[in-house]
Chains A and B, each alone.
Chain A
Amino acid sequence: MSEYFKPLPKPTAISEPFWSAARRHELMLQRCEQCKTFIYYPRPRCPECFSDRLKWEPVSGKGTVYSFTVVHRAATRMFADKPYVLAIVELDEGPRMTTNIVAPPESVKVGMRVVVEFDDVTPECTLVKFKPLEQ
């Protein structure tokens, strides 16, 4: 495996369960036990009702492309190797995630159905990306 030179997340006490689930190729989100809202990114309290009773739950990994951009000129050299698809995916459970779509850029459309695709970028880190859902 060639050396990975892009920035990596530094998990915190709050977000660690999300990243360790990703390493196991599972998508888990916080869910508020009080108002039942699914939450992304991980928070210290529910941003809806402010409860601190948050539980980790597995989710479907399916969603829809809410918007995307093909980045031709990245703002940093770390991403300048080739154009990439930066996207906002709206999960079926509700929350939106910043992510990448692993597909030819010209095939990506707003509203297209996608499914999670785990990218083990280093032995310690798995990024949560998405790919087109085969219907």
Chain B
Amino acid sequence: MSVKNKAAIIGIGELKPTKEPGNATPLSLMAQAGAMAIEDAGLEKRDIDGVLVGMAFGDPGILYPSAVCEVLGIRPRMLNQVDIGGASAAGMVWRAAAAIDAGMCQAVLCLTGDVNRLGEQRPPIISVAREFEWPYGNIGANCGYALIAQRHMYEYGTKPEQLAKIAVDQRKNALKNPLAFFNDKPLTIEDVLASPIICSPLHLYEIVSPMSGAAAFVMVGPEIARRAPHPPVWLLGAGESCSHSTITYARSLTESAIKESAKAAFEMAGLMPKDMNLICPYDCYTITVLITLEDAGFCKKGHGGPFVMEHDLSYEGDLPCNTHGGQLSFGQPGLAGGMSHVTEAARQLMGRAGERQVKNARFAFVNGNGGVMSEQTSIILERKS
């Protein structure tokens, strides 16, 4: 039993991230993206009988899925909140496929969205983090990823300019994406290294910028997929793994649970990293991409630095990576940031990526990452010829 070839993404909806949300609410943005995705799928709202939704930091709550469904006027046969942080969108892909395959529903709307009005970082929600992390100033994600980057540099000699190259190549992609927030000027390695150090060794331009926005996609089984207006994007493999909540207590700072999640996804798909035409690794920070490349098997452990210097990660390069710009250039509208990797892979495989279209894109690897490298979901998508 597996979720291989059981369901496909047939519609996507995505808003351009903004720093000026006006009077928008997470629910109003989700409704907008959701309506776009349903229309894109060639469906009506009444066709949707499953809903998966991610938490909105700007509207956190329990029993959230029913609130979302009530606002949207959907009466689902399957509903849930997927609570694995930045991995939530990738996690929704296989959960939707599993629910469809089990016969619990036929068309699942997957939704994320958020409104970020800049303010103080809230205290950690998890009680043990409030007790053992917060008093020492381990707060927000910047610190955790900085600790990882520092250790990676110590163990493998990774250099700041190698990390910077990731942000630079992704910016080149963003320049061709009208939906990306930072799409007006190129970035150089010197620009990245000249930006202020926020938490050493991480510079400002290696860190995502929080924004407001929303994204959605629709997943269906084979019967509905056959009637879809765009080429269906099939789930070919999926894997999930979690190694810790707070990075201090992970088995390693530099070796992530992506080793397990990606291995499972590739095994289910019956493919290897070299078979991928496109990769969309979660990129809250540059170091996240580097570790994903290593742990998913695109290069040897510890060789991520030289690897990114030797390869062109742009849409016209030999390893197209985050062709939408990644969250580093697209922006991070809460969990919709993580969904941007899924929507971009779908867009590319459907052949709808415009000026940044990767030619003959058939297989895509997407990785979702939650917390500080804690929750990992890897998926492999295919456009059938």
Contacts and interface: CB of A to CB of B under 8 A. Distances in A.
Contact of B147 (A41, A86, A127, A129): A86
B120 A77 contact: yes
Contact of A127 (B121, B136, B142, B154): B136
A75 B121 contact: yes
Contact of A74 (B133, B137, B249): B137
B196 interface: yes
A123 interface: no
Interface string B169-199: 0000000000000000000000000001111
Contacts of A110: 150-151, 154
Contacts of B148: 67
B131 A74 contact: no
A41 B137 contact: no
Contacts of A8: 135
B156 interface: no
A67 B139 contact: no
A84 B137 CA distance: 8
A73 interface: yes
Interface string B290-334: 000000000000000000000000000000000000000000000
A104 to B, nearest CB: 13
Measured as residues with beta carbon below 8 angstroms from the partner, the interface class of chain A is: 35 or more
A53 interface: no
Q: Indicate the size class of the contact surface on chain B.
A: 35 or more
B136 A88 contact: no
A98 B138 contact: yes
Nearest to A109: B154
B246 A76 contact: no
A24 interface: no
A11 B197 CA distance: 34
A72 B121 contact: no
A128 B88 CA distance: 35
Given A67-B147, A88-B147, A79 B154 contact: no
Contact of A10 (B131, B147, B201, B202): B131
Interface string B100-132: 000000000000000000001101000110111
Contact of B128 (A41, A67, A71): A41
B253 interface: yes
B224 interface: no
Nearest to B207: A73
B199 A69 contact: yes
Contacts of B135: 6-9, 127
A12 to B, nearest CB: 7
A86 B136 contact: yes
Q: Which 5 A-B pairs have the closest CB atoms?
A: A75-B140, A69-B146, A75-B121, A67-B151, A110-B154
8 contacts: A6-B135, A9-B130, A10-B131, A66-B151, A69-B146, A76-B139, A86-B136, A88-B253
